[in-house]
């Protein structure tokens, strides 16, 4: 079993990535090869795709292809994808995917085309597949098949108000305990402010809670069983829910990224733990530009194990033109396009882009951007892509994590019962894996 797991989770991804280093047919590569074709892209209407699609006309000019964009909000995009894929339809050629969430599930359902061969044989000279984050490529590799190419790198980071911290005589927190202490002090120092805010909406909790759990030293699964009732699991549940219950805004159980960004941007929260992608939204209007500090989430007993994920571009296994679809994926994840996207605030999944002089100049323009990039560097080097349970039913597992956290925020159950109920439901999910 162990050997099989090693082969599946370690050796095959390494082979897949290594295969991309083999000599390619770059010299024969012709962007106009599929001129006249139409590629349909199912996009999540988020800042990543918005930045990418600014350059849609460039792609069409370069390839002579037409790009048809089918854009929805995240949940509606998945709903559309489930319908299309269950019908074995070729309506969608390329779709956006979160490997950390649905990767196992979609791979097991056979919805992804294997990109390994295309990334080896059909690449332009300057594509440089090895320049993409190896961690993200690995996270997108299932059963030895490369299922998507990373579009960005992101994760939850810690936003805090430097002016409030100064006023209350606080230093930037280095540990989770210092976050709690800072929240306590801010509560008395300025009672008009919300000391701490993060995600409380049930399906959204896992994204930020996973970082807390890993920093504290907990794990989702131990010996094949759900592990939320372990000492570390309970500590993480208790700390996360207590921070939101005692120091969060009223109604935090309905908070996801939109509400958190709005509250912080309006100047009514002193600390926010939210996605790095929200930088642009948080800085809109410029009110928070000079008084915000950014950090990876402060350390727990296990140090800093930030959550690091990225949106990927996958080619549908039902696409009738996977090669043309790959051209779009390749263009969208090329160094040139990712540099353009980076200049719009989309963190690049390519270290080479992160070191590009033009990008560095943009970063150096504002101290907050420097701190943002520094936090992303930590995410890139130390990050874990485990958001929720690493099982096929990952999306459903997030429900039970969120339920346990909400039970505690709303004081509907004592911690032993909340974690035991979650573990029972999650064990049933793990058994289905």
**Which is nearer to other proteins, 265 or 350 (by Cβ)?**
265
Give yes or no for a contact between 260 and 274, defined as CB atoms under 8 angstroms apart: yes
Which window, 18-26, 236-244, 254-262, 280-288, contacts other proteins (CB under 8 A)? Answer: 254-262
Out of 105, 134, 219, 230, point to the residue binding other proteins (CB under 8 A). Answer: 105
Among positions 96, 153, 201, 324, the unique one binding other proteins when judged by CB under 8 A: 201
Supply angle C-alpha 251, 256, 262, rounded to 5.
80
- CB of 262 vs other proteins, minimal distance in Å: 6
Minimum CB–partner distance for residue 197 and other proteins (Å): 9
Per CB under 8 A, the segment of 20-28, 105-113, 182-190, 381-389 that binds other proteins is 105-113
Q: How many CB atoms lie within 10 A of CB 254?
A: 12
Task: Give yes or no for residue 430 binding other proteins (CB under 8 A).
Answer: no
Cα three-residue angle 418-421-427, rounded to 5 degrees: 135
Among the residue ranges 6-14, 352-360, 372-380, 395-403, the one whose residues contact other proteins (CB under 8 A): 395-403
- E-strand ranges in 24-123 read 38-44, 66-72, 94-97
Q: Per the structure block, which two tokens stand in for 19? A: 């295969």
Counting contacts by CB under 8 A, is residue 203 touching other proteins?
yes
Binding residues for other proteins restricted to 65-94, rule: CB under 8 A? 75, 78-79, 82, 85-86
**DSSP class of 72:** E
SS3 309: strand
Query: Does residue 387 bind other proteins (CB under 8 A)?
Result: no
Q: How many CA atoms lie within 13 A of 73 on its CB side?
A: 3
- What count of other Cβ atoms lies within 10 Å of the Cβ of residue 353? 22
Tokens of 118: 């295309």
Backbone angles phi, psi at 124, to 5 degrees: -70, 160
Q: How far apart are CA 392 and CA 433, in angstroms?
A: 6
Smallest separation, CB 212 to other proteins (Å): 20
Q: Which is nearer to other proteins, 225 or 268 (CB)?
A: 268
Nearer to other proteins, 166 or 268 (CB): 268
Interface contacts to other proteins, rule CB under 8 A: 75, 78-79, 82, 85-86, 105, 108-111, 194, 201-203, 249-254, 259, 262-263, 266, 268, 392-393, 395-396, 399, 403, 406-407, 410, 412, 432
């Amino acid at each position: 079993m162990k050997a099989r797991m090693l082969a599946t989770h370690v050796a095959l991804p390494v082979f897949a990535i290594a295969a991309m280093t083999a000599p390619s047919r770059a010299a024969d590569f012709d962007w106009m090869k599929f001129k006249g074709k139409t590629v349909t892209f199912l996009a999540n209407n988020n800042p990543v795709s918005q930045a990418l699609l600014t350059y849609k006309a460039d792609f069409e000019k370069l390839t002579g292809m037409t790009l048809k964009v089918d854009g929805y909000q995240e949940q509606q995009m998945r709903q559309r994808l489930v319908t299309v894929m269950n019908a074995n339809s070729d309506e969608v050629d390329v779709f956006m995917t979160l490997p950390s969430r649905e990767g196992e599930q979609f791979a097991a359902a056979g919805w992804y085309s294997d990109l390994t061969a295309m990334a080896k044989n059909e690449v332009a000279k300057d594509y440089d597949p090895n320049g993409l984050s190896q961690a993200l490529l690995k996270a997108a590799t299932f059963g030895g098949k490369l299922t998507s190419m990373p579009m960005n790198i992101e994760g939850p980071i810690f936003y805090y108000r430097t002016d409030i911290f100064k006023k209350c005589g606080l230093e930037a927190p280095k540990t989770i305990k210092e976050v709690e202490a800072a929240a306590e002090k801010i509560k008395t120092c300025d009672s008009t402010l919300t000391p701490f805010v993060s995600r409380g909406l049930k399906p959204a909790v896992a994204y930020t809670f996973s970082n807390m759990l890993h920093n504290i030293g907990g794990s989702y699964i131990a010996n094949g069983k759900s592990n939320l009732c372990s000492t570390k699991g309970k500590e993480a549940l208790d700390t996360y829910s207590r921070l939101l219950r005692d120091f969060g805004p009223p109604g935090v159980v309905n908070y996801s990224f939109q509400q958190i960004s709005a509250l912080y941007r309006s100047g009514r929260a002193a600390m926010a733990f939210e996605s790095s992608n929200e930088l642009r939204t948080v800085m809109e209007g410029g009110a928070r530009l000079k008084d915000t500090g950014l950090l990876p989430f402060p350390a727990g007993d296990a140090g800093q194990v930030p959550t690091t994920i990225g949106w990927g571009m996958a080619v549908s296994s039902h696409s009738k033109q996977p090669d043309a679809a790959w051209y779009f994926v390749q263009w969208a994840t090329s160094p040139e396009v990712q540099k353009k996207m980076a200049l719009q605030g989309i963190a690049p999944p390519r270290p080479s882009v992160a070191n590009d002089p033009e990008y560095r100049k943009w970063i150096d323009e504002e101290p907050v951007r420097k701190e943002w990039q520094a936090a992303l560097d930590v995410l890139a080097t130390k990050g874990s892509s485990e958001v929720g349970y690493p099982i096929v039913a990952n999306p459903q597992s997030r429900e039970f994590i969120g339920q346990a956290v909400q039970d505690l925020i709303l004081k509907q159950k004592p911690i032993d019962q909340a974690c035991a109920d979650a573990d029972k439901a999650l064990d049933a999910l793990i058994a289905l894996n």
